[in-house]
Amino acid sequence: MPLSFSRLLSLAMAALVSLSLAAPADAAKKKTAKAQTTQTRAKASKGKKTAKPAAKSTKGKGSKAAKVRPRAVAAPVVLTKAQQLNLLYDQYWDASLKLNPLQATFQGESRYNDQLPNFLSPAFRQQSHDFTVLWLGKAEALGPDGLSGQDLLSYQIFVRDARSALAAEQFPSWMLPINQFYNIASIAVVLGSGTGAQPFKTVKDYDNWSRRALGIPELFEQAIANMRAGMQAEVVQPKVLMQKVLPQLDAIIARNAEDSLFWGPVRNLPADMPEADKQRITAEYKRMIEVRIMPAYRALRGFIATEYLPACRDSDGLAALPNGAAWYAYDVRQSTTTDLTPEQVHQIGLDEVARLQGDIQTLAKQVRFRGNLPKFYKFMQTDRRFSFRSDTELLGTYRSLQGRVQLAVPRLFNTQGMPALEVRAVEPQRAQSAASGSYMRPSGNGSTPGIFYVNTSDLPSRKTWEAESLYLHEAVPGHHYQLGLQQQLTDLPKFRRLGGETAYIEGWGLYAESLGRELGLYDDPYNYYGYLQNALWRSIRLVTDTGLHSKGWTRTQAIDYMVDNSAMSRADAEAEVDRYMAIPGQALAYKVGEMKIAQLREQAQRELGPRFDVRAFHTEVLKDGSVPLDILQDKIQRWIATQKG
């Protein structure tokens, strides 16, 4: 479906980190197949035409009646319903990229790299609505009857996504185009600085951005108009969030083009580019930055500082907005891909926090620590035994883990066909902003392996007790198995293969952490603490996010809860809570996803008894790629019924 504004921004920000969710496109193969289908249809259509009557023979001297041979009529091509739907999905995907050029760029499709439509405008919203209705109608006209396996899953996901996109239209997210976490101004500079998805390798690439950047002023003007509409409707951002936007804009605004982040592509012009093109591009970019882009940024900053900030609200949660309770309930369903209510999620969080704190208290007694939980948390953060002495030791720890897990993982997984994995240190130029550990999926043709990146900088912040759970989450059997297998599903429609559900993807990562003891890890109680602390943090998210947006909690209440119930510093808690305020419901996906997979495993074990095969269960969860949790539940329940039979 056409990307909602928040989904578009999420995709943009995801492009900034090393975890790449997009598989290499096989557009050429699809194009060839589509061309063959078109030719076949044309022949079939031609064969259906009524044959013209044979010409009358001319009788005369020396003439003979011409023998008329009947034309061979080609058999009509009859596509199955599944084939019709797969053709529809291909057509939809191409049309979606044309409608959403930024989505195309983030997916590695270069055809529309010169376009930037005003996706905040009323006209574009209407166009997106019509687009969704059109393609949903086409799919529903064919219907799911007779479909099975991947074909049924594709239909269910396609229709579900379309209906969800239409349901979102009742909530005016377009009135909130900017916050400190998702910021169209920041996305523009990431694209235009050469550090994002926009390529700058050829003259055409440079000209593409020059044309695309023409749309920035109009887009910013529309953002201002939308925020003014929000002021009239009392749909505005929390003041504390918008106060953080101003320094972000200040870091982008520059007096001279040469001092601007947008000058990056000029500073890094390819050495083999013709000199005449270099001179033209340099002059053109200087004019573009100083005459068009920087004035647009200054106007946006001025509006926020003088008009919008004074009108922003002092409340913190989404429920404070008109229809906010229903809005947040939708966000919870959308993020978790379940029918859970905010109240249910809140209670789940409270129960999990209590359980995990009890487990940590038991562990503290096991290691004979004297003191309460806050003192134990401080001990785990400050004792030197939990620090790495060198970057070599840190990297070696993860490489040793790779070997240990590789030997144990066949107990729980069918490893045939699993892609190769390498453990590498994060490059120095990325180390300052990179996470402790991150994953990049393998290439589609298998020429490059999956990579687990370890950040070996800032050694005091890297703890020995976090290594095992982090490796399980990001590498094996976490993201590497899930995303690596999805990479191999080349027959999936692109809307599935290049997309994904956070609740499934991150839920699988957390579930993988829970397998540590079955894989022979967490035998050191301090390493098990690392797992428990991660699980506690994700559970606290359930409480604080729902507390803010459905319980009337203030920002301070949410921060206090995080600090009082975990090892998190106040500064980190503030950053977390501000994130929850900016993107309500998003942080719920992780823990809810993990718990759903664990619950389905428990159900399968209970109902199948001795016939339960954990390797077969994991294969069933992973073999179809990322799916919404409610669809995953239906799929696993069908599998259980089949195993019983």
Q: Are residues 152 and 216 in the same domain?
A: no
Confidence of residue 22 (pLDDT cuts 50, 70, 90): very low
- Checking if the pLDDT of 52 tops 80, the result is no
More confident residue, 148 or 53: 148
Mean pLDDT score of the chain, rounded to an integer? 89
Distance of CA 1 to the CA centre of its chain: 14
- pLDDT of 38: 39
Total domain count for the chain?
2
- Asked if residue 307 has pLDDT above 70, the reply is yes
Which pLDDT tens digit goes with each residue over 488-497? 888 999 999 8
Can you give the pLDDT at residue 67?
A: 59
In the predicted model, is pLDDT for residue 64 greater than 90? no
Q: Looking at 55-59, 245-249, 277-281, 563-567, which range is the least confident one?
A: 55-59
Q: What is the pLDDT of residue 63?
A: 45
Q: How confident is the model at residue 8 (pLDDT cuts 50, 70, 90)?
A: low
Indicate whether 164 and 199 sit together in one domain.
no
Q: What is the pLDDT of residue 40?
A: 39
* 348, part of any domain: no
The predicted structure's pLDDT at residue 49: 38
pLDDT at 224 over 70: yes
Per-residue HEC secondary structure of 75-88 comes to CCCCCCHHHHHHHH
Is the pLDDT score of 382 beyond 60?
A: yes
Which of 171, 198, 222 is a domain's end point?
A: 171
**How buried is 499 (Cβ within 10 angstroms: 0-12 exposed, 13-18 middle, 19+ buried)?**
middle
Instruction: Classify residue 9: in a domain, yes or no.
Output: yes
Residue 286 forms part of a structural domain: yes
Helices and strands (H, E) in the chain, number of each type? 29, 3
Would 85 be classed as within a structural domain?
yes
pLDDT winner (highest mean) among 48-52, 59-63, 508-512 = 508-512
Please list, in sequence order, all residues whose beta carbon lies within 8 angstroms of the beta carbon of residue 123, skipping any fewer than 6 positions away: none
The answer to which of 15-19, 298-302, 549-553, 558-562 has the lowest mean pLDDT is: 15-19
**Does 61 have pLDDT greater than 60?**
no
Comparing 203-212, 358-367, 453-462, 599-608, which segment has the lowest mean pLDDT? Answer: 453-462
Same domain, 151 and 269: no
Last residue of a domain, one of 289, 314, 339: 314
- Residue 188: pLDDT above 60? yes
| Confidence band, pLDDT 50/70/90 cuts, at residue 68 | low
What's at 594, amino acid-wise? E
CB-CB contact of 486 with 576 (8 Å): no
Pairing of strands 421-425, 450-454: parallel
Q: Report if residue 86 sits inside a domain.
A: yes
* Same-domain pairing of 149 and 218: no
Note the pTM of the prediction, 2 decimals.
0.86
Inside any domain, residue 458:
no
pLDDT tens digits along 196-206: 899 999 999 99
Q: Once rounded to an integer, what is the mean pLDDT over residues 137-158? A: 97
Q: Among 237-241, 307-311, 414-418, which stretch is predicted with the lowest mean pLDDT?
A: 414-418
In degrees, rounded to 5, the angle at the alpha carbon of residue 421 between the alpha carbons of residues 417 and 424 is 175
**pLDDT of amino acid 609:** 97
Pick the more confident residue, 434 or 355.
355
Q: What is the mean pLDDT of residues 353-379?
A: 96
Q: What percent of the chain stands above pLDDT 90?
A: 79
Tokens of 525: 């109680």
Residues 6 or more apart whose CB falls under 8 angstroms from that of 122 comprise none
Q: Are residues 120 and 244 in the same domain?
A: no
- Between 187 and 616, name the one with better pLDDT: 616
**Is the pLDDT higher at 616 or at 33?**
616
- What is the pLDDT confidence band of residue 60, given thresholds at 50, 70 and 90? very low
One domain, residues 215 and 256: yes
Claim to verify: residue 294 and residue 231 sit in the same structural domain: yes
Do 122 and 194 fall within a single domain? no
Confidence of residue 119 (pLDDT cuts 50, 70, 90): very high
What are 196's two structure tokens? 């994002």
Cβ-proximal residues to 234 (8 Å cutoff; 6+ apart), any chain: 313, 321, 322
The string of pLDDT tens digits covering residues 430-462 is 887 788 999 988 876 667 889 999 999 999 999
Tokens of 132: 């969704």
Q: Which pLDDT belongs to residue 417?
A: 81
Measured distance CA(582)–CA(316) in Å, rounded: 10
Structure tokens that stand for 572 in this block: 């980190």
Structural domain that includes position 253: 184-314
Q: Is-contact 98 105, C-beta < 8 A?
A: no
Among the ranges given (29-43, 215-229, 468-482, 555-569), the one the predictor scored with the smallest mean pLDDT: 29-43
Q: Identify which has the larger pLDDT, 249 or 39.
A: 249
Confirm whether 232 is domain-assigned: yes
Mean pLDDT score, 524-537:
97
Element (DSSP H or E) covering residue 421? strand 421-425
More confident of the two residues 483 and 216: 216
- Could you read off the pLDDT of 227-262 as tens digits, one per residue? 999 999 999 999 999 999 999 999 999 999 999 999
Within a domain: 115:
yes
**Together in a domain, 262 and 225:** yes
Mean pLDDT of 340-348: 98
The arrangement of strands across the sheet holding 437-440 comes to 421-425, 450-454, 437-440
The pLDDT-based confidence of 124 (bands split at 50, 70, 90) is very high
> Of the candidates 314, 342, 362, which is a domain's last residue?
314
Are 132 and 220 found together in one domain?
Answer: no
Same domain, 116 and 3: yes
Among 36-50, 177-191, 331-345, 415-429, the minimum mean pLDDT is found in 36-50
220 CB burial (10 A radius; 0-12, 13-18, 19+): buried
pLDDT of residue 1: 59
Query: Does 200 share its domain with 93?
Result: no
Helix (H) or strand (E) holding 451: strand 450-454
pLDDT score of 446: 65
